[in-house]
Structure 1
Amino acid sequence: MAFIDQEVRRLVGKAIHHYGLIEDGETIVVAVSGGKDSMLLLWLLRERLSRLPIRYDLVAVHVDPGFETESAGLLEDYFKREGFRHEIIRTDHGVKAHGPENRENPCFLCARLRRTTLFKKAHELGCRKLAFGHNQDDFIETFFINICYGAQVAAMLPKQEFFNGEVTVIRPLALVPAEKVERLSRRLNIPVIRNGCPSSNKNKRMEIRTLLDSLYRKSPKVRGNVFHAMSHVNLAYLPPPLNAMPGSSTLLQTLAVQKDGS
């Protein structure tokens, strides 16, 4: 077994245990876009079953955004060939998000529609867990996107409940850098199937990624430092909101909410 296999498996296992992502006997919907992250996640979650005493079932679900490509058919062929239980949902989410009637960011609308579809499918299948393939770099990039474009300090969570706990989103690749995902995907010859989205290489995430890559090249410690910083917030050294005057009840309420983690 190559070192990259051991390293990625170790990081996935650490995330699953540390964040309490998977329990024995569960059925997990794995959102598979066709990209390297979700394709590798599906492979890794099944591979773990051969080494662990616990059991869980997987359902690969692909939401076709509706672009004129063969991505859905290619994914369906892959799922059948590899023996994965699967569902293919054909939609017009991507087309609608890039249409003239949409005044939102196309990526934001498409992601919202896709997630709603996945939640509905998970409920229909009776699954309480929905796994996404976001890697460590995705967490960091989302953190910077929210700071630069959303005016808030926020990122993603490795484990997040929705609808009063009816569905829980899990991200088992939370500790795995994108570069390791890329290396292991190539080594295992896992296919990457693109859906033809016209915004895939020209969005805010790509801008932030370019910025961060320049920092990573200067110091290999930056990625890990930023990721750990998201869990080590010193509120005492952050300024209060501008609409709150020192000593006011609004300021005190704001700090109380921040300390409660809301």
Structure 2
Amino acid sequence: MKVQKLLSLIRQSCERYEMIEEGDKIAVGVSGGKDSLTLLYGLKELSRFYSKHFTVTAICVDLGYANTDFTGIEAYCEKLGVELTIIHTQIGKIVMEERKEHNPCSLCAKLRKGALVDEAVRQGCNVIAYAHHKDDFVETMLMSMIYQGQFYAFPPVTWFEDKGIRVIRPLMYVEEGQVRGFIRRQEIRILKSPCPVDGTTRRAYVKDLLMKLDRETPGAKERMFHAIVTGNIYDWVDPKITDTRKN
């Protein structure tokens, strides 16, 4: 995927769901993986010409796994001209050793989110950008249906009223395959996940399932995504219909 295509898709999602407002200071949660580095690049480039002025900073939550090398992330942020903050934690040890969680992803995500939000607030950011792409939306919906019996996917925009933080997901129109293509084209060095259960989780299972469904029934993923964005999910706000922030 070329830069122009990436920026076009990010701009479309931002405008459709009014993700960005004048004067926003956006903290991008950067893990060092392909998705977050693509989002960081896209938002930084978008900030150069978007109709509303905003700034971008990067925050990386170090889970505390040994031998995690952040030099690639540091060099990448320096190249983009984006300030990077690395928060050193012991989340990995808490989840995997102390708590010995059978399904560790939920607790890990909760602790990472807490660390990210606290640092974003400390820096005066009012927006956090997560790098969830189109495939993530569909996978989350399938996981919700399979494991919880609900039709649900995280919304494009969420508000943490107590923290004064807005969470946005600007990659929602970008497919995972397009992200991979962008990373290859730009020759961006990514950080392999240090998580010991990476690739063996429920999400990994559902990812494989979605790939199989889309391969056997071409267009299935796109139709499922369409069902999500038109499905009137209870905490999705459609700014073209109503704005619950004013209620």
Q: Which band: TM-score by shorter chain?
A: 0.7 to 0.9
Alpha-carbon separation, structure 1, partners of 2:20 and 2:218: 31
In 2, distance between residues paired with 1:104 and 1:218? Answer: 32
Cα deviation for residue 81 of structure 1 reads 4.2
Distance 1:81 1:111 in 2: 28
The letter of the residue matching 2:198 is S
CA–CA separation in structure 1 for the residues paired with 2:224 and 2:193: 31
- The structural deviation recorded for 1:234 is 8.4
Post-superposition shift, 1:10? 1.7
- Contact preservation (8 Å) 2:40, 2:58: yes
Indicate the residue corresponding to 1:238 in structure 2: none
When Rg is computed on C-alpha atoms for both structures, the one with the higher figure is 1
Aligned equivalent of 2:143, options 135, 142, 145:
145
Secondary structure of 1:175's match? coil
- Residue in structure 1 matched with residue 63 of structure 2 by the alignment: 65
Q: Does structure 1 residue 93 correspond to structure 2 residue 91?
A: yes
The partner residue of 2:156 within 140, 158, 163 is 158
The DSSP-based 3-state class of the residue aligned with 2:182 is helix
Number of residues paired by the alignment? Answer: 234
* 8 Å CA contact 2:28, 2:129 repeated in 1: yes
Structure 2 stretches of 5 or more lacking a match? Answer: 234-243
Distance 2:232 2:121 in 1: 39
Q: Displacement, 1:215?
A: 1.1
Partner residue of 2:215 out of 214, 217, 220: 217
CA RMSD of aligned residues (A): 2.1
1:78 aligns with 2:94: no
Listed as ranges, the matches of 1:98-117 within 5 Å are 98-103=96-101, 105-117=103-115
Question: Sequence identity of aligned pairs in percent?
Answer: 32
Match of 1:174 among 131, 154, 172: 172
Q: Given the superposition, is the C-alpha separation of residues 101 and 170 from structure 1 closer, same or farther in structure 2, using an over 3 Å criterion?
A: same
Aligned residue for 2:70, secondary structure, equals helix
Equivalence map 1:1-262=2 (5 Å): 4-103=2-101, 105-164=103-162, 166-233=164-231
Offset at residue 18 of structure 1 (A): 0.1
**When the two structures are superposed, what TM-score results if normalisation uses the length of structure 2?**
0.88
Q: C-alpha separation between the residues in 1 aligned to 2:25 and 2:109?
A: 23
Shift of 1:190: 1.7
**Which deviations, in whole Å up to 9, do the C-alpha atoms of 1:86-132 show, x marking residues without a partner?**
11101111222112524452111111000011111111111110001
Structure 1 gaps of 5+ residues are 236-259
| Structure 1 contact 132–170 (Cα < 8 Å) conserved | yes
